[in-house]
Structure 1
Amino acid sequence: MAGAYDDRDGKIWMDGKLVEWRDANVHILSHALHYASSVFEGERCYSGKIFKSHEHSLRLIESARLLDMESPYSADEIDAAKEAVLAANGFTDAYVRAVMWRGSGEDMGVSARRNPVRMAIAAWEWGSYYGDAKWQGAKLDIAKWKRPSPETIPTAAKAAGLYMICTMSKHAAEAKGCSDALFMDWEGFVAEATGANIFFVKDGEIHTPLADRFLNGITRQTIIQMLKDKGLTVHERRIKPEEMADFSECWLTGTAAEVTPVGQIGDYMFQVGNVTREIAEDYEKLVRA
């Protein structure tokens, strides 16, 4: 499948039923478009099975709750809808996007309690998020924007509005020939990339930022458990930017990123070493098991 995302053949699940791809539209006065009242999930289907589908459905509902929206569907119903989308489009390996938002209704201001909460699920075939960097090691810029304090945003929600600085930072990174950008948090500690969590290796032990001020990714949690199962020590802690000079390996994790090695962040260089390669291979085996 190729071409513009609004002009394709296929089916999209929308508000409880499958509709033609080109007919899956919303009104220009949808609240989400004006006030960012939208949450979403990105998932991957491998060999006919969505990896951790139910966990993603539960997080979607929780993200909506954190934005003061009540999901019109249960996690089981969302799971079934995702399966229906894959079947309708004939996909066995695909990226799945579930989105929930406040639509158009009687309210068109900041408050929108009288507007319906709507939902849609689409799927498409999508390869490596970082292209050749998946194997060669991605190059990251350091973003000028900071991840904000949890006192200012619902950091545990996968909310569309929280990605505004991600888009801006990724555009700036790509203009410099980089694949992505690394954020620091508002206190100056290492946080995450624009759509992925980050891990480092030093003397055979793993270091990753403590995920209490940005989204604790489902892939991140999976990888941490896999590392512990392999007998590796994992430190979840605050990491100062200058510590990157002492790390030998680095990788990103996320549904789209999967496990992507990092070769460079700003002026800091990393090897695509054995720990990174092994965990990437192990993750690939797990999602296709």
Structure 2
Amino acid sequence: MSAYDDRDGKIWLDGKLVEWRDAQVHVLTHALHYASSVFEGERCYNGKIFKGAEHSARLRKSANYLDMEIPYSVEEIEAAKYAMLKANGWTDAYVRAVAWRGAGEDMGVSAARNPVRLAVAGWEWGAYYGDAKMKGAKIGISRWKRPSPETIPVHAKAAGLYMICTMSKHEAEAQGFSDALFMDYRGYVAECTGANIFFVKDGEVHTPLPDCFLNGITRQTVIGMLKDKGIRVIERHIEPYELEGFEQCWLTGTAAEVTPVSQIADYNFEVGALTRDIATSYETLVRS
């Protein structure tokens, strides 16, 4: 594949479709300097974006957390996504909506007078973790921690919150892992760099309480599916030592979908029947 800035196609930018290579911003864009940016990752299956309106609503909410007002409604953002998909001829694709403070009268920490801009792009994308969808991902443990809600708006899907994700994933990949698991500021198990995490023990599912990280839309969907199957789901604080006692593990996220985990650092997990069942059920749901 060519670089992401050098492709044929269309990107929706500030109310209109533009040529891919023309979707540019100025070097003095506020978001480039101060991380005043929020985004969503979504997947389109068979011509339908899974839970698209929920993602658009969360995008607007994330912007509000960062004191930004996106000048487009949920309905207008949805229309932009489908216009972009149609222009590129895609029925199965990853969709990226991103809003940011652009260049304007302010170029400092304060940027109240700068416009909030919006773009919607997409690309055709397979399994985020490659063959881990079948074999199970191998995950390291990050030396960084998810921050306290007193330090940053942790429930926003904000670009600045992902810097430690990039650093942690690079370090994990250098060590032969696919991803990295974060603990939170208190030392509890939190999430991976772009996915929530679930564990299985004695037929019950345990997942970290999302009180200092994003409560993913895929996470919420999977919890609902498990409950519909009559499986008990326990949302709680999980201590790192408990990893040794869990039997199965999987990740959830728009990019990850439902991906089994076979290893976290020195702990090994079975890619078992419940993991495979929920992965299959999720695949069926998003394509229905």
Q: Smaller-chain TM-score range?
A: over 0.9
Instruction: State the partner residue of 1:236.
Output: 235
Deviation string, structure 1 residues 145-169 (Cα, Å, up to 9, x no partner): 0001010010110000000000000
- Corresponding residue SS for 2:43: strand
Partner-residue secondary structure (3-state), 1:34: helix
1:209-256 C-alpha deviation (Å, 9 max, x unpaired) = 001110000000000000000000000000000001000000000000
Runs of 4+ that moved beyond 4 A: none
TM-align CA RMSD: 0.3
Count the aligned residue pairs: 288
Partner amino acid, structure 2, of 1:13:
W
Structure 2 counterparts to residues 123-272 of structure 1, below 5 A: 123-272=122-271
1:79 and 2:83 are equivalent in the alignment: no
Matched residue SS, 1:104: coil
Secondary structure of the 1:227 match is helix
Aligned ranges for residues 65-104 of structure 1 at < 5 Å? 65-104=64-103
> Residue 262 of structure 1 aligns to a residue in which SS?
strand
Structure 1 match to 2:61: 62
Q: Deviations over 1:17-66 (max 9, x none)?
A: 00000000000000000000000000000010000000000000000000
Distance 1:45 1:212 in 2: 29
What is aligned with 1:114? 113
- Secondary structure of 1:113 counterpart: coil
Residue 122 of structure 1 aligns to a residue in which SS? strand
User: After superposition, what is the alpha-carbon deviation per residue over 1:46-87, rounded to whole angstroms, capped at 9, x for unaligned?
Assistant: 010000000000000000000000010000000000000000
1: CA distance between counterparts of 2:199 and 2:123? 31
Runs (5+) with no aligned partner, structure 2? none
1:62 match: secondary structure: helix
Q: Distance in 1 between matches of 2:10 and 2:118?
A: 14
1:286 aligns with 2:285: yes
Structure 1 unaligned spans of 5+: none
Deviates more, 1:129-138 or 1:278-287: 129-138
Q: Structure 1 residue 270: deviation in Å? A: 0.2
Match of 1:52 in 2: 51
Instruction: Please give the TM-score of this superposition, normalised by the length of structure 2.
Output: 1.00
Deviations 1:256-287 (A, max 9, x none): 00000000001111000000000000000000
1:135 Cα shift?
Answer: 1.0
CA–CA distance in 2 between the matches of 1:64 and 1:221? 21
| Cα distance in structure 2, aligned partners of 1:233 and 1:253 | 17
| Distance (Å, rounded) in 2 between the aligned partners of 1:189 and 1:151 | 17
C-alpha distance in 1 between matches for 2:254 and 2:90? 17
Specify the code of the residue in structure 2 equivalent to 1:245.
Answer: E
Distance in 2 separating the partners of 1:210 and 1:137:
23
Return the TM-score normalized by structure 1: 0.99
Identity of aligned residues (%): 75
Deviations 1:156-202 (A, max 9, x none): 10000000000000000000110000000011000000000000000
Provide the rounded CA distance (Å) in 1 between the counterparts of 2:51 and 2:8.
27
Helix, strand or coil: the match of 2:119?
strand
Measured against aligned partners, the alpha-carbon deviations of 1:77-129 in whole angstroms (never above 9, x if no partner) come to 00000000000000000000000000000000000000000000001100000
Does residue 9 (structure 1) correspond to residue 5 (structure 2)? The answer is no
**What SS does structure 1 have at the residue aligned with 2:98?**
strand
